[in-house]
Structure 1
Amino acid sequence: METFTETLRMTLSDVAALAQVKRPVVSMWRKRSSGGPLPFPTAAAHMNGVELFDADHITAWLQATGRGNNPEARNDVAVFARLAGPPGELPRDSRQTFEGLTALLALKVITGQAVGGSTATDLLDAADEADPDDLFLYSELEALGSALSGLASFADRLADSAFSAPAAFEKLLAHRFKEGLREQSDTALTDEALKLVGATAMELASTLDSRLLFVDSTPGGSDVMLSIVEQFGESRPITLLAADHHGSASRVARRRLAVHGTDSSPVKIDAKGAFAVSGPAVHVAQYPAPGNPALDTTGILNSIENIVLQMDDSQRAVVIAPARVLCDALAGEAGNLRSDLLRSGRVRAIVRLQPGLLRAKPREPQALWVLGPSFADVPIAERWTSVADLSTTPLTLDVSQDLISDVVASMGNRATIRAHSFRFTRLVQARVLLAGKGSLVNVPPAGSSTTAGGAESALRVEELVRLLSFRTSAPSGLPGVQPAVPGTGPRPTSTQELLTAGNLKYVKGIRIEETDLNRKAGSRILGREELMDPHNTEPRFITLLDFAAKYPAGRLTEPGDVVFCTSPRPAAMVDAEGGAVVVFPARILRIDRGDPGGLVPDVVATDISSRPPADKTWRNWRFRRAPEVQRQPLSNALARLQHEQAEARQRLNRLEELATLITDGVAGGSLTLTDPISIAAPAEGTS
């Protein structure tokens, strides 16, 4: 019989992963040990020009030399190696090794016996009995051929090393980024995201006062359900329903549920993706799913619609998908489809989450939809949805717990909502969500009113004007203020929406050699230093001749440009003069003069500088806008106040200099005080 140690092959990259070192380290080992007593093993085979090494020889060499950072390399080798076929055949790829090992682990759990030492015929007979309809493991074992017995022995060894077959299965699945498992790696969420979705689903299920039934109708989805099992499976019995989709990813999901010994059953999905589940249940779904990682926006919304269509008021659902689908601005067919889902009344909570929750796309933010009862007796115009924007909020334990508490409260009626103190979410009327064209999480809250705040602000403005008593001849130089009519002003809009509409233009900063800068004359330099501390940073310049000759692609600012940066924190300033050179990482947002869209440069700069330090996603920043008739009066008032601030800073500097001169002069013996000095009105000159 062919032994297992003769069936596993590894590339040099596999060796590096097994030894937990960088790939160049293995090449260095190979080169330096070539003339020593323990040379690196020679290649056992080649596939498409790539050297393949015997896994047993590699682990023996690692153990003998003490190389690498993985003392369990011999037990872990199957996770990183690929299965070779019978003599004379090319080695099997990593997918076949993965599928064979996971199938054997599932068979081991189902039969309750070791699979090693059995003949291939016995193993296939046991697989046929455990999986008579070939739904999740028979084909994978049959495809191994003569290598089945050897791999079975190693499956037992791997389970012993991981202390259990489920742990061994998860160890194999943890290496999703291996060649041939792209559908798994492209859709893998972080532990924080899985725990949030799982805990939310469990909390929703506990409010139904029935059996804990969870349904995942996505093709190949199992991460969220296993997160629920791991977090709560020991406290209460859980029943899982997985979709009966065909395909490798779905078979892996069914093997995974089997190896964890869950109480699971299939749910029938028709050709259009429709299905039916009766009674109280909580649906969980991640999009795109492993079985369809290329699913587009319309496909995701259609899949969510299939969940909504079969729901009744005794069911709940938690969906995690890219924020661009669930909450960011959408137009066309996809936008209409999402609006229809909102009109159903079942979308009870919308939460935009921070980037970094999808391992393969760490810069793509995710979002949650929580679905629940529609309250059909409430008119559509009066229905509400709770929304939250956690784009810059890490999912710490307290954040997750309070967010889940907010979401669960949003499932209730008006009395329940009034009794809950919301930390993150706020209520928005459904009609406002449907009327908006931007992000769903950045709309005004339901029942919001600025009347009281406007009246208080107007009184405070008048009081401050009197207290400041401007030194100009007209203390009333500022325009009068009065409360505005609520809801008459334009809503805040994101940078991307303004760029698309043409109200804003983005201009990149330029990289300039430090040797080309000077401290004397030329065009002003505006960079990160000037943005971080504009009043205390020593000015920098570059001569126009040098700039034009060495940086022909560079562009100067125009009056009113907003210069901003995102690191180390968001900061911005308005270049009122123009003609400056903006140095990367600083950049420019230029407001279109013909169609500003309600933007005022100073307001844009203020909105940027007030962003949280961790918020680097500048295209999602939202800017407040002023009504067209208020833009010029606001600009004039801000210019007047900035002039007063500059004079106040200059006066403060002079007072500080005066205090220093008097202190040093009298204490040092160079000055003598003869008469009291009026600090309030210093005389011109000194005698």
Structure 2
Amino acid sequence: MAATLSMADIARLAHVQRPVVSMWRQRAVPGAPFPTPRADGRFSAGDVLTYLSATGRGNNPDPELTSDLTVASSSATDPADRGDLLTLLAARAVLGADALAETDVEDLLDDVEALDPDDEWLFSEVEGADVERLARTADAVADNSYSPAEAYEQLLAADPDPSGLTAPLVDLLAELTAALLGEDSKLVDVAGTATGTALRLAADESLTPPAILLARDLPSDRATARRTPLRATLRRYRVHRCEVGTVAMEDDWDLPAGSVILARVPDHTDPARADPAQSDPDHTDSAHTDSVQAAPATAEAFGLIDDLTLQMGPGTTALVLGPASILIDELPDALVGQRDAFLRRGLVRAAVRLPAGLLRGGGGEHLALWLLAEGDSRHLWAGDLSGRSLDAATSQQLLDDVVAVARSERQRAFSILHRAEAAKVIALSQSLVALDVSPADPLPVSAADDAARMAELLALLAEPMPDPLSGLRPEASDAGGGGHGSALSATLGDLARKRLVRIISGYRLPRLPAGTLQMWTAEAVATHLPAGVDLLALTTAIPGAALTAPDDLVFTSTGTPHAVVDAGGGSVVAYPARILRVSPTASCSPRAIAATINELRPGTGIGKWRSWQVPLVSGSRREVEDVMTRIQAWEDQTRTRLAQIGELRRLATRSVTSGAVRFAAADCTHPEPAPVDEKGQ
């Protein structure tokens, strides 16, 4: 391997942006000139390391440790060598070996064969690798990384798949899947198209690792099996120590309730599907190519989705990702009937056009997401995120909406999805998001009712708010050690390890009828408004379900973190919400912890709660709790007022704008009855 680096490689090695390296070349350090490039414009890796060590430039404290990985990831490295390095890193990861260079090649093959006796994912690759030449490089890359698995992923990222998904979309799919998975269920990765999402879930220490199934087409012979790209998928799972079962697409998957199927349908621009003759510009123009390929691609996509629906039973959901041109946009008459068939069967519960730019290769293509599940066949929930970015706030809104649709939660305000009549969508054969899908008010309300309710709200808003902190005033104290900057804190992970707090996962509950038992869902925690569930239905679904204790903290870590203190206790908590129970001997305030969690930025979520810094109480815990409880009372009053104002605004929007209700000036000093004409009107 040529130990040379490009300017971009140097930037990655030094942990800086590419223009910074150009500035280094222009602004030399006395006694340490920038390395001289070779004839091909690249730089000796040794010279670069000497320069960085002498100047101290860059943000990498020890660039020599990561130089082997940088060289291996460089575009100048032979792709075949990089492939062999990936193979050797995989072997080291699955074998737990300390050094490949110290292992005899035949012994290495024997060890790999013992793990892969049927040669399904690794043996042929190790057998064909140049082990003797590359073993030391593989060892250096692994030794200077957190783990061989991390080194494998970093080297794999050197040749990114242009059709791969960006991190924000993978995170969204992982959080959606985590919210939809039930107890003792399975996660199905169809044809290896959702491996990144599955690994994202497996890496979350706060979740029980899901049972993963890899659904694939069985190869016709052994030679074909050795060439299938699913070998790399299985290898990647094994590198991360994920036990994965395999199942043929045509077999019965026997999925329990709560299972989730993840699939991505093909696009006609996928180079793996393209006919070389059609993709050659000397044979045909691009417009003709698109028209020729679009129909087979659409038929193949809907054929795959149809196969998935045959595997779905009660309580099973599927998340299908694909081009918006197939799943959302208007289709030709010859193809639209295939999509309408799924709408008629009531399997498409939600359809969303996603923002552009969610593929690693860039471009303006829009992807779309379908939620498939049994449910209300009369309605479709549709949303369009065109022109928006998939930032943390948008991801959280979409996550909440899709989960609510999957759980048939109607009594909530949707942020992105809107309900459409399925029959209307089918009849017009247009884009699934092109319609005015705002549902009409199902229950007509009289103007008198609206006027009476608005008068009631105005009276409530006019009442003075009591002061929970009346009679108290803040005073500086020497006990704090000189200011808030010296306040003590600890991570939740440390507190949990010391048994000062206890984290209890919420229950994966089926859809239950409403009732009087208080229930904290993820949405309820975010809004501080608990839902209600029927106690008998709960005990039937979850016998012996444990409830919260007084002053338990309930929190969520997906998307934007939220927390609330359940002062009275006696509530059931639904996954993905969790309970944080503070030990009576801990110097911690549940309400102070909740306030800290609610201040965390979006994206601090899935799997990160162990690293959250929370305050410790250096004085009287009872005094802190008393103050925080009083402040919470202020917040609760304010939240109630805001809810009343929101209701007043909605009523005014409906009735005042239409002229059904008007606000007349009140004359409280000389009220007179309204004049009555001869007809009594």
- Secondary structure of the corresponding residue to residue 216 of structure 1: strand
Aligned to 1:226: 199
**1:258, CA displacement in angstroms?**
1.1
**1:337, CA displacement in angstroms?**
2.3
Q: Which runs of 5+ in 1 are unaligned?
A: 1-5, 85-90, 176-180, 376-381, 457-687
- Aligned-residue Cα RMSD (Å) equals 4.0
Aligned to 2:82: 98
**1:350, CA displacement in angstroms?**
0.7
Relative to structure 1, is the Cα distance of residues 430 and 19 closer, same or farther in structure 2, using a 3 angstrom cutoff? same
Q: Counterparts of 1:250-289 in structure 2 under 5 Å?
A: 250-269=230-249, 274=250, 276-280=252-256, 281-288=259-266
Selected match of 1:438 from 416, 430, 434 = 430
Deviations 1:574-602 (A, max 9, x none): xxxxxxxxxxxxxxxxxxxxxxxxxxxxx
Q: Which amino acid aligns with 1:283?
A: I
1: CA distance between counterparts of 2:396 and 2:29?
57
2: CA distance between counterparts of 1:336 and 1:306?
17
State, as a whole percentage, how many aligned pairs show the same letter.
31
2: CA distance between counterparts of 1:318 and 1:42?
50
Relative to structure 1, is the Cα distance of residues 79 and 342 closer, same or farther in structure 2, using a 3 angstrom cutoff? farther
Aligned to 1:241: 213
**1:22, CA displacement in angstroms?**
6.8
Selected match of 1:409 from 404, 407, 410 = 404
**Equivalent pair of 2:194/2:262 in contact (CA under 8 Å):** no
1: CA distance between counterparts of 2:46 and 2:269?
34
Aligned to 2:67: 77
Verify: 1:384 aligned to 2:384, yes or no. Answer: no
Q: Which amino acid aligns with 1:212?
A: S
Q: Counterparts of 1:340-359 in structure 2 under 5 Å?
A: 340-359=341-360
Q: Which amino acid aligns with 1:429?
A: E
Relative to structure 1, is the Cα distance of residues 283 and 444 closer, same or farther in structure 2, using a 3 angstrom cutoff? same
Selected match of 2:167 from 177, 181, 191 = 191
Aligned to 2:146: 163
Selected match of 2:419 from 427, 445, 459 = 427
**Equivalent pair of 1:7/1:83 in contact (CA under 8 Å):** no
2: CA distance between counterparts of 1:156 and 1:450?
67
Deviations 1:616-662 (A, max 9, x none): xxxxxxxxxxxxxxxxxxxxxxxxxxxxxxxxxxxxxxxxxxxxxxx
**Equivalent pair of 1:322/1:367 in contact (CA under 8 Å):** yes
2: CA distance between counterparts of 1:290 and 1:278?
31
How many pairs were matched up?
414
2: CA distance between counterparts of 1:20 and 1:427?
47
2: CA distance between counterparts of 1:172 and 1:248?
21
**Equivalent pair of 1:313/1:374 in contact (CA under 8 Å):** no
Aligned to 2:326: 325
**Equivalent pair of 2:267/2:322 in contact (CA under 8 Å):** no
Relative to structure 1, is the Cα distance of residues 438 and 51 closer, same or farther in structure 2, using a 3 angstrom cutoff? same
Aligned to 2:98: 114
**Equivalent pair of 2:201/2:207 in contact (CA under 8 Å):** no
Aligned to 1:564: none
2: CA distance between counterparts of 1:92 and 1:266?
37
Verify: 1:217 aligned to 2:207, yes or no. Answer: no
1: CA distance between counterparts of 2:76 and 2:109?
20
**Equivalent pair of 1:124/1:138 in contact (CA under 8 Å):** yes
Higher RCO, Cα 8 Å, sep 6+: 2
Deviations 1:155-189 (A, max 9, x none): 333333332222222222333xxxxx3xx431232
Task: Between 234-243 and 74-83, report the one with greater CA deviation.
Answer: 74-83
Relative to structure 1, is the Cα distance of residues 340 and 75 closer, same or farther in structure 2, using a 3 angstrom cutoff? farther
Task: Between 298-307 and 425-434, report the one with greater CA deviation.
Answer: 298-307
- Secondary structure of the corresponding residue to residue 110 of structure 2: helix
Aligned to 1:173: 156
- Secondary structure of the corresponding residue to residue 358 of structure 2: coil
Q: Which amino acid aligns with 1:160?
A: D
Aligned to 2:307: 306
Relative to structure 1, is the Cα distance of residues 94 and 326 closer, same or farther in structure 2, using a 3 angstrom cutoff? farther
Q: Counterparts of 1:568-583 in structure 2 under 5 Å?
A: none
Q: Counterparts of 1:10-89 in structure 2 under 5 Å?
A: 10=5, 14-19=9-14, 40=35, 43=38, 55-56=45-46, 58-64=48-54, 66=56, 69-82=59-72
- Secondary structure of the corresponding residue to residue 410 of structure 1: helix
What is the TM-score with the length of structure 2 in the denominator? 0.53
- Secondary structure of the corresponding residue to residue 223 of structure 1: helix
**1:307, CA displacement in angstroms?**
1.6
**1:361, CA displacement in angstroms?**
2.4
Aligned to 2:504: none
- Secondary structure of the corresponding residue to residue 213 of structure 2: strand
Q: Which amino acid aligns with 1:282?
A: V
**Equivalent pair of 2:35/2:47 in contact (CA under 8 Å):** no
Q: Which amino acid aligns with 1:130?
A: L
2: CA distance between counterparts of 1:195 and 1:304?
23
2: CA distance between counterparts of 1:141 and 1:53?
31
Relative to structure 1, is the Cα distance of residues 61 and 254 closer, same or farther in structure 2, using a 3 angstrom cutoff? farther
**Equivalent pair of 2:88/2:126 in contact (CA under 8 Å):** yes
**Equivalent pair of 2:189/2:261 in contact (CA under 8 Å):** yes
Q: Which structure has the larger Rg over C-alpha atoms?
A: 1
Q: Which runs of 5+ in 2 are unaligned?
A: 218-224, 274-293, 449-681
**Equivalent pair of 1:282/1:318 in contact (CA under 8 Å):** yes
What is the TM-score with the length of structure 1 in the denominator? 0.52
1: CA distance between counterparts of 2:255 and 2:268?
27
2: CA distance between counterparts of 1:221 and 1:353?
17
